[in-house]
Amino acid sequence: MSNKDTALAQPIKIGKRTAKNRFVIQPMECCDANPDGGFSERSLERYRNLYEGNAGVIVFESITMQYDSRARDMQLSLQPDNRENIKEWEKFIKDMKDVNPDPLLIVQLNHSGEISGGGEQKRVTVKPLWGFYDDDTPLVDDEYADKTIDEFVRASKILYDLGADGVDLKFCHGYFGSQILRPYNDRDWKYGGSWENRSRFAFDMTEKVRKVVNDDNFIVGSKVSMWEGFPGGQGSAGPDTAVIDLTESIDLVKGLKERGADFILESTGAPSITMALHMPEKGKADDCYLHFTMAKIVKEAVGDDCVVMGGAYSVLNRGKNTLQAVQPEWNSLFHWGNYNIEHGYADMVALGRQSLADPKLPAKYLEDREDDIKWCTACDSCVELLIRQQNVGCVVHNKPYTEILQKVSAEKGRLKLKVT
Ligand SMILES: Cc1cc2nc3c(=O)[nH]c(=O)nc-3n(C[C@H](O)[C@H](O)[C@H](O)COP(=O)(O)O)c2cc1C
Ligand code: SF4
């Protein structure tokens, strides 16, 4: 059978639009903006490769609209009041559609909150997280959060006007939109305490984006952490318990859909706290099964007319992994991708690290050229580059990034990232 006949190769409707296949490129922040926050030649080259790779959907990496709250110094940004920056975005979108008109471009919008890092960024917090951030980080108030919603809405409208296909309003990974959702946000303020208050930020933002853009052809959705894996995080039963209770996470995805979300991109874990859960590591690959389950829970909650993109497939590669209790022929990314779609556990398969290892995987799969694929080994050297705020790419398969890691390691030593 040709891969063209498999579930992964079939088109799917997202809102009023159609993705040509079931591959999604995850948003992958790669710290290679120019110093002014615009596109460097390296950023452009990355996206050219992804467009040639022909995934149904490309979720553009996390960008900031508040230049003083970047997560990292070289984060790409959309600066609404900077005409040069807006022109760069316009050119980028047009040039990429010229490379390949098929992938749908969805841009991930973010505010880094207490994860703002690097040079002159202003860190702000909903409530400082135990042991992680200084107690003197300024607390945000109602007005600040209201203003942030307006910034997301304004950026969505700008991207719509420039020709982007949609936005991902980011509610995961401990950034501002996710901190607000956590049970840990038990402060008494407009967006804290009760679930009604904590979900207000996400729900109001989604409603407002829909209203202001006012075109069903524009895709709106969110990447969501279903369970962050630490006490008080999203998906825990209360501000100080580690026990899982997905009631709020399920209500979140349902509520987003009711307010106009066309897709949910599943995530689990929080990279700066529970990293191995978030991006399963080669020594503990089985965590990808938990992500499969979370995607299924989202699918059951949102039903047919909201697309669920399942995450955490990179660790699978072509079957060279440490999965336990599995038939050898079941071991690969393509097996589980097709299986989960066929069984209705997810609609699409999102590729994170694997998209750095080989941005052209979807095209190679669709053309039955699997032998040409460069596989991610889940070594997480790319994560080390991100943490070091260096240009990020695959250290195993792309020499310039191997050299960047060698240089930074010679200067600073290696980081110990995970337990294995
Ligand atoms: C270098 C790097 C950059 C990332 N940047 C983002 C980002 O901008 N936005 C986001 O939501 N997730 C980001 N992630 C998380 C991935 O999108 C994805 O959720 C995670 O890597 C798990 O998927 P995987 O197992 O396929 O890698 C990043 C991960 C890595 C390794
Ligand atoms: S550096 Fe390692 S984890 Fe990152 S994409 Fe390459 S092989 Fe995968």
Please report the pLDDT score of residue 272 as a whole number.
Answer: 87
Q: What percent of the chain has pLDDT over 70?
A: 97
Q: Supply the DSSP string of 242-308, one letter for each residue.
A: --B-THHHHHHHHHHHHTT--EEEEE-S-TTTSHHHHS--GGGTTHHHHHHHHHHHHHHHH-TTSEE
| Contact assessment for residue 137 and residue 123, using Cβ atoms and an 8 Å cutoff | yes
Split at pLDDT 50, 70, 90, the class of 414 is confident
Confidence of residue 132 (pLDDT cuts 50, 70, 90): low
pLDDT score at 128: 84
Backbone angles phi, psi at 348, to 5 degrees: -140, 165
Give the SS3 label for residue 109: strand
Q: What pLDDT does residue 420 have? A: 43
Question: Per-residue confidence at 134, pLDDT binned at 50, 70, 90?
Answer: low
Q: State residue 325's pLDDT score.
A: 64
Q: Which two tokens stand for residue 222?
A: 């969110």
Q: Examine the pLDDT at 71 and tell me if it is beyond 90.
A: no
Mutation test residue for ligand 1: of 279, 387, 418, the one with most atoms within 8 Å of CB: 279
> Is the pLDDT score of 419 beyond 70?
no
Residue 118: per-residue pLDDT: 60
- Tokens describing residue 60: 């553009």
- Cα gap 170→176, rounded to integer Å: 9
Q: Is 312's C-beta closer than 6 angstroms to any atom of ligand 1?
A: yes
Higher-pLDDT residue of 129, 78: 78
Mean pLDDT of 367-376: 97
Q: How many alpha carbons lie under 13 Å from residue 406 in its C-beta half-sphere?
A: 7
221 close to ligand 1 (CB < 6 Angstrom): no
* Ligand 1 mean position, distance from CA 354 (Å): 10
Using a cut of 0.75, tell me whether the model's pTM lies above it: yes
Q: Whose CA is nearest to atom 4 of ligand 1?
A: 28
User: Residue 418's pLDDT is what?
Assistant: 57
For ligand 2, which residues put their CB under 6 angstroms from it? 353, 356-357, 376-382, 394-396
Distance CA 46, CA 60 (A): 11
| Predicted confidence (pLDDT) at residue 362 exceeds the cutoff of 70 | yes
Q: Which of 117-121, 301-305, 382-386 has the lowest average pLDDT? A: 117-121
In 3-state terms, the chain is what percent helix, strand and coil (to 5)? 40, 15, 45
Name all domains of the chain by residue range, CATH numbers in brackets.
Answer: 3-378 (3.20.20.70)
